[in-house]
Amino acid sequence: MGERLAIPDGDPWVDPLDFTAFAVKTTGLLVAETKLTIDEYTLHSAFYKASASRLLLLVALSKHEMALFRKFEGSFAGITMAFLQPGMRRPLRIFARCTVTRIAEMTQREGIAMIETEIKPIPDDYKRIVEEYRTLLSCLRDDYARYANQSIRMAPQFAKLLGYNNRAVLHAYGNRFELAVVTIASNRLEFLLQAAPPDIAPGNDNSIRMSFQLHQFFVHGKTTKVEQVSPGVVRVEMDLDFSPELMDIFAKYRERARLLAIDGAAAPAASATEAAPPSA
């Protein structure tokens, strides 16, 4: 059995953030250029969790290699990484000295190891990038609460402002079910579905992959209401978990809506309760 990874809560200086696809895109991390050098070995690595002083990397290791590298726990090492952010003509390359504090096998991911490192001294550019991302996530979480229940009706004019590609797919029972979004808010989703699978029932958890021009991502949440609206068609309401991608899309949507108003352009007609852009 692989060792379970326990990440303690606490000081944001050391408490690592999940380095998701959204984190990679937002920070501009060049994933192919992350390498960990231990002794005479160089390992291609992937960011897993990151804070200003701690970096957890994923590395492909066999059981034999795992046993070999566990001997280096407590040893000095080096991490090379690169970022390409807006306004940069060339990648920002960073080298961080570190200590390997732990090597563990990932549960349910055979052949993948987690290598935990403590970075010291902390490179200024690396610290800035991680803390800027932490600040962004905090702002998006605030927006998730601030704009809760302020739904946008997915009419064509609003879909265009949101950059919605008119594609959303429910993943259930190993199958995919196309659906039609009716309204969407930071914390809730309403949609129409044909041939609903059995797990579309109040209280059940579900995942939906949504496609926007800015992000393609999964939203997760709990079904709260299911009602039949016509033969073979049901209307479903879901409470959504926090999604940084969705909140980032809403932030860009509000910016576009404000620019339309500033330019004096006529905003698309909307009902006050569901279709109007959330007020700032």
DSSP for 96-126, written as a single string: EEEEEEEEEEPTT-TTEEEEEEEESSPPHHH
Neighbours of 12 (CB within 10 A): 15
Tell me the fold of 17-139.
Answer: Thrombin, subunit H (2.40.10)
DSSP 3-state assignment of 128? helix
Give start-end residues of each CATH 2.40.10.220 domain in the chain.
17-139, 146-262
Domain 146-262 class, CATH top level: mainly beta
Look-up: residue for tokens 């932030």?
Answer: 251
- Residue 129: pLDDT band (50, 70, 90) is very high
The mean per-residue pLDDT over the stretch 16-41 comes to 96
Which pTM value belongs to this model? 0.83
Q: Of 132, 103, 126, whose CA–CA distance to 43 is shortest? A: 103
> Average of pLDDT values for 167-185?
91
- Which of 2-11, 125-134, 158-167 has the least mean pLDDT? 2-11
pLDDT in tens, 59-109: 999 999 999 999 999 999 999 999 999 899 999 999 999 999 999 998 878
**Cα angle for residues 178, 182, 185 (degrees, 5° grid):** 110
Q: The dihedral of CA 192, 196, 201, 206: what is its sign?
A: negative
